[in-house]
Amino acid sequence: MISDKDIEKAKLRTDYNLESPHHEHNDCIRIAYEWLDAQKKTKTIPQCGHASKSLIERWAGRYVSQSDVSVAAELHPEIHGKFPRFNISARLTEPSLSRLNNIGEAFKHENYREFHKSKDYSVHE
């Protein structure tokens, strides 16, 4: 699991698309990291982005901020680009829920989980 210290360092390095970044909880960054980690990486950054923030929220049953996703991407050694355009395949992978087992903030907002649809994904872990 990514340490709070590593997350705090990454927050300082992250190039945000916002004037003032907003972070919910370090676990939200861990949630976003796990979702990004499950995706197939591509060699190039696409012209248009994915609705990754919404997909992450619905998968994990927890609100995550755009800033949280940006920091997760900064932390991931294989992710390149800037929110919402990352080098991930358009054929999205639905991450296994077991990725959330040790993340305390997962499923804190169950109403988000109600809108999760496996059909939004081409591949399933």
Chain segment 57-100, per-residue pLDDT in tens:
999 999 999 999 999 999 999 999 999 999 999 999 999 999 99
Distance CA 83, CA 4 (A): 22
Does pLDDT of 3 surpass 90?
Answer: yes
**Confidence class for position 110, pLDDT limits 50, 70, 90:** confident
Instruction: Name the domain count of the chain.
Output: 1
Per the structure, the complete domain to which residue 74 belongs is given by 4-124
Residue 78 is predicted with a pLDDT of: 98
Q: Which residues contact 97 (CB under 8 A, 6 or more apart)?
A: none
- Model confidence, pTM: 0.95
CA distances from 102 to 30, 69, 97 (A): 10, 19, 11
